[in-house]
Structure 1
Amino acid sequence: MTTSTTPTTPTAFRAPRTTARFDALVTEVRAAVDLGLPPDLTAYQVGERLAPHLGAPDLLTEEQRVGDPECYRQHILHAEHDGSFSIVALVWLPGQRTSIHDHVSWGVAGVHEGQESETRYRLVSDGGRARLVETGNVVNPHGSVSAFAPPGDIHRVWNACEGKAISIHIYGADITRLGSSVRRVYECPDGER
């Protein structure tokens, strides 16, 4: 099993224009992160704060809802001054997908519009060599929230719908500095594309 570190190209971050609802979300996430809980419990707490905002028409600006015809688009919406968390919106046009990957920190993903499909994996030892094994396929509908903390956070996500999908992701890291939440990219298991 070959893995690679995803190259990142961070750029200077200028906080985008936000909405009052988004500003309230930031305050709520900050309170959850400031509890100082272990990563898995922090992710759960943050997910609880995100859920009521999903689907609200006043969460994102029109600019933050724009996709890219080439690949899914990441809009960095907030990076906490101390690097403790970042919030991004991912805009997925039909058929767009990620590679199989894991993450640099705890995270939460909430489906704001549309739905996302996801395949989850785990690494197993196979004669001294690690290989990926699929553990499940899920469809995350509008309003759903998933929380995770490494290890055990390997997955691939895509938009299998005919329309645009938007998800809000909150990570326990400074994405403006890292450029991405991806720690490693994995080769597809045999027989998968």
Structure 2
Amino acid sequence: MTITTASPAYRPAARVTARMAALIGEIRTVADRGLAPDLTAYLVGERLAPHLGAEDLLTTEQQEGDPDRYRQHIVHAEADGSFSVVALVWLPGQETAIHDHVSWCVAGVHQGQESERRYRLAPGAGTAARLVATEEVVNGQGEVCGFAPPGDIHKVRNSCTSTAISIHVYGADIARLGSSVRRVYTLPAD
């Protein structure tokens, strides 16, 4: 079932499933507490996990990919800008640049599998900085990770042979900003 939300807390004409509307309510309850970013991310991740993989979480349109690059579907942006829910659809091999974020973030794999390489910024010889890979993580369907800046530099890719879909919750208004990316890194990476 798909509903059009009418509550003033939602942007007009947002089309979400009943399950997504319930999840948005759960996220709102956490976001409204005004906790530290890392604790907010952890608690939002706990709310997101039980919904991952459910067939009635996203509309058909929110599951459509793009042959040229991973596709972002803004599912919900809270009217006060406190959080957004985004579905990212990745065809096999699609990936992000190395980047960090404007706010806390929670990502859960709804379908497929995603690989993530995490980095830290390290001083280089002289004044040039470099990126050092710190961890390789493979997340399968149902797995959730969360983080808060600083220390959120990573690259994500679809590492399976089918479409991957992940649900991201950001502590920012992605409808207004257009993206959760604060910076793209082009520094040398180890």
CA distance in 2, matches of 1:73, 1:190: 26
CA distance in 1, matches of 2:188, 2:147: 22
Deviation at 1:104, TM superposition (A): 0.2
Mark the runs of 5 or more structure 1 residues left unpaired by the alignment.
1-12
- 2:64 corresponds in structure 1 to 66
Deviation at 1:19, TM superposition (A): 0.7
Task: Return the structure number with greater relative CO, CA threshold 8 A, min gap 6.
Answer: 1
CA distance in 2, matches of 1:137, 1:85: 27
SS at match of 1:55: coil
CA distance in 2, matches of 1:62, 1:186: 33
For 2:96, the aligned partner's letter is T
- 1:183 corresponds in structure 2 to 182
Give the aligned length: 179
Q: Is the 8 A contact 1:93 1:163 kept in 2?
A: yes
So what's the TM-score if we normalise by structure 1? 0.90
- 2:31 corresponds in structure 1 to 33
CA distance in 2, matches of 1:56, 1:189: 40
**Equivalent in 42, 46, 49 of residue 44 of structure 2:** 46
For 2:93, the aligned partner's letter is G
Could you say what the CA RMSD is over the residues aligned between the two structures, in angstroms?
A: 1.3
SS at match of 1:30: helix
For 1:72, the aligned partner's letter is Y
SS at match of 1:18: strand
Q: Is the 8 A contact 2:131 2:189 kept in 1?
A: no
Q: Is the 8 A contact 2:132 2:189 kept in 1?
A: no
SS at match of 1:21: helix
For 1:106, the aligned partner's letter is W
Paired residues for 1:19-168 under 5 Å: 19-126=17-124, 127-168=126-167
- 2:3 corresponds in structure 1 to none
Cα deviation 1:149-180 (Å, max 9, x = unaligned):
00000000001211000000000000011000
Mark the runs of 5 or more structure 2 residues left unpaired by the alignment.
1-10
Q: Percent identity?
A: 70
Kindly tell me: are residues 43 and 76 of structure 1, through their superposed partners in 2, closer, same or farther at Cα, counting changes over 3 Å? same
Aligned structure 1 segments of 4 or more residues deviating by more than 3 angstroms = 13-16
CA distance in 1, matches of 2:61, 2:189: 39
Q: Is the 8 A contact 2:129 2:187 kept in 1?
A: no
Kindly tell me: are residues 117 and 188 of structure 1, through their superposed partners in 2, closer, same or farther at Cα, counting changes over 3 Å? farther
124-133 or 24-33, which moves further after superposition?
A: 124-133
So what's the TM-score if we normalise by structure 2? 0.91
Cα deviation 1:36-88 (Å, max 9, x = unaligned):
11000000011010000000000001111000000000000000010000000
Q: Is the 8 A contact 1:100 1:188 kept in 2?
A: no
Q: Is the 8 A contact 1:15 1:77 kept in 2?
A: no
